[in-house]
A and B are shown apart, each in its own frame.
Chain A
Amino acid sequence: MASSIDTDRALHDLGDVFFRSTIWSSLAHADIRSKYRLSTFGSLWITLTTGALALAIGLFYGQFFGQDIHSYLPYFTASYITWTFIASVLGEASVTLVGAGNLIKSSQMPIVFHILRMLHRNLIIVLHNAIVLIAIWPFVRWSLHPSAVLSLAGLVLLYLFLVGTSAIIAIICVRYRDVPPLIQVLIQFLFFLTPIIWYPEQLKFGAEFLKLNPMTYMLMIVRDPILGRPVEIQTWIIAIGLSAASLIAGSLMYVRFRRRIAYWV
């Protein structure tokens, strides 16, 4: 059904993701600016909100897991920041194209830009939240190894993974309007199955099951290096594989369904 013209157009869009990347990234910055306009703290509210939660949970919940504050507070904070990124991207991916319906039906902007705009907006939020982790270090002083920079590599991989996954979710959700609530359910479900508030090594049974959860890997490659927790090479390989697979699947879906999206929104 998709003719070669449509395929060319979709591929051209995907090329523009790189060549005209300033467009979607600037739009994301504009979104953040617009949200915190006229407020004194501006986008620092993002940091403050996360900081308050990290303190509340991090200071008290450690005792349930037999950990003291010094190790649990940074663990929870890093987990929470990373997970919030994953969860908001997946959640917003399900509504982003529907929300941009008017623009899709009136402008020449490549449709994939709407997805990247949403993703980039969330990346800006993550970077704001990372300040919380830096701010608590002087108080807790966990040992920082040079390998902590691997967290950045992990973040890049996670970003790529989410680009592909968001494209898949966004396209499915614009066609089937039952999927967005389903995605919400799935995010809730994954929250409890992913080692976010608990430690993976505490699992007495079901550790095998944990290995089936792709979010475990994507979370660990971002969170663990900065905390000085070892990350197995196997984890990295799986994370790279997941990112590549999701990028390929997302691109294929985009090329296949690009022409239909304007009809569905």
Chain B
Amino acid sequence: MPSIVLENLTIDIPVLSIRARSLRTIAVAKARAIGGRIIDSGSHVSVVRALDQISFTLGRGDRLGLIGPNGAGKSTLIRVLADIYAPSAGTIERRGTLIPMFDIGIGFDPEATGYENIMLRGMMMGLTRREIAARTDEIAAFSELGEYLDLPIRTYSAGMTLRLMFSIATSVAGDIILMDEWISVGDESFQSKAQRRMLEITGKAGILVIASHDPNTLRQHCTLGMRLEKGRVVDFGPIEKVLSRPILNAAV
């Protein structure tokens, strides 16, 4: 059974200035230290606290919508849940298999054919050739791209490319979907098909976490809402309530 438990999770992202990244700075700092007087510490590492003491628990069937202005920490939280950023403090405990659905277009080669890209993208998701080959037919069928899959994807329309990306991303078996903005795919008929697949995955007692700016999307897909501001949780509860409560950004 999938679950996500965060306790006092904090993420500090170092902002390395040009100074901090250069060797000269360190050398100069060392030299000064040897001289006995440290004029300049040389380590201009400032830190952005992207997430500050976040705690929550998600269980089966929970669909969480993350709300908040740009820079509130929504995308960072999605990446923490995907194990990309390791917590600076606090803990994250996750049970279940991930279906990451953000940045699903990274790693595609425009000159390669649709089939080659299925292989390429699959490997970047950590699948072996055999594992990908086993699901290629299903991906091809779902994408409805047919013979286009033998052509370089540079010849595809934007909608077609997105259909392929979506089909690959949702081909993995998993029960936790992570999304950064809802992906609306292709024409109307494909969109409802994509929607059905998403519901199918989340419906099977899965968890969905989605960051979005669109209240309608969130109302439609989420049960829970969380408002983030400057890396802090300012509101958490049923989605309808979180969306309707006035934004408390007087403190910001």
Residues of A within 8 A of B (CB): 5-6, 9, 20, 22-23, 26-27, 30, 34, 37-38, 102-110, 175-179, 182, 259-260, 262-264
Contacts and interface: CB of A to CB of B under 8 A. Distances in A.
Contact of A105 (B84, B112, B127, B130): B84
A263 B123 contact: no
Contact of A178 (B24, B79, B86): B24
Given A106-B102, A107-B100, A178-B21, A23 B123 contact: yes
Given A27-B120, A34-B109, A179 B23 contact: yes
B178 to A, nearest CB: 11
B103 interface: yes
A182 B23 contact: yes
A175 B23 CA distance: 10
A102 B129 contact: no
B247 interface: no
B22 interface: yes
Contacts of A37: 111-112
Contact of A175 (B21, B82, B103): B21
Kindly list the 4 A-B residue pairs having the minimum CB-CB distance in the complex, ordered from nearest. A106-B103, A259-B86, A178-B23, A177-B21
A263 B124 contact: no
Contacts of A264: 14, 16
B19 to A, nearest CB: 11
B110 to A, nearest CB: 10
B56 interface: no
B119 interface: yes
Q: How large is the interface on B (under 10, 10 to 19, 20 to 34, 35 or more residues)?
A: 20 to 34
Contact of B79 (A22, A105, A176, A177): A105
B126 A23 contact: yes
B179 to A, nearest CB: 13
B84 A176 contact: no
A260 B84 CA distance: 10
Contacts of B13: 263
Interface string B57-85: 00000000000000000000001001111
A30 B111 contact: no
A104 B82 CA distance: 12
A9 B87 CA distance: 13
A203 to B, nearest CB: 32
A23 B127 CA distance: 7
A144 B82 CA distance: 55
A195 B195 CA distance: 64
A46 to B, nearest CB: 18
Contacts of A26: 119, 123, 129
B145 interface: no
Nearest to A24: B123
B112 to A, nearest CB: 6
B85 A263 contact: yes
Contacts of A102: 103, 106
B116 interface: yes
B111 A103 contact: no
B128 interface: yes
Contacts of A263: 13-14, 85
A107 B111 contact: no
A107 B129 contact: no
Contacts of B98: 108
Contacts of A260: 86
B124 to A, nearest CB: 5
B24 A109 contact: no
A262 B23 contact: no
Contacts of A107: 100, 103, 106-107, 124-126
28 contacts: A5-B86, A22-B128, A22-B130, A23-B128, A26-B119, A27-B124, A30-B109, A30-B119, A30-B123, A37-B111, A37-B112, A103-B124, A106-B100, A106-B106, A107-B100, A107-B103, A107-B106, A107-B125, A108-B82, A108-B100, A109-B123, A109-B125, A175-B16, A176-B21, A178-B22, A178-B23, A178-B24, A262-B85
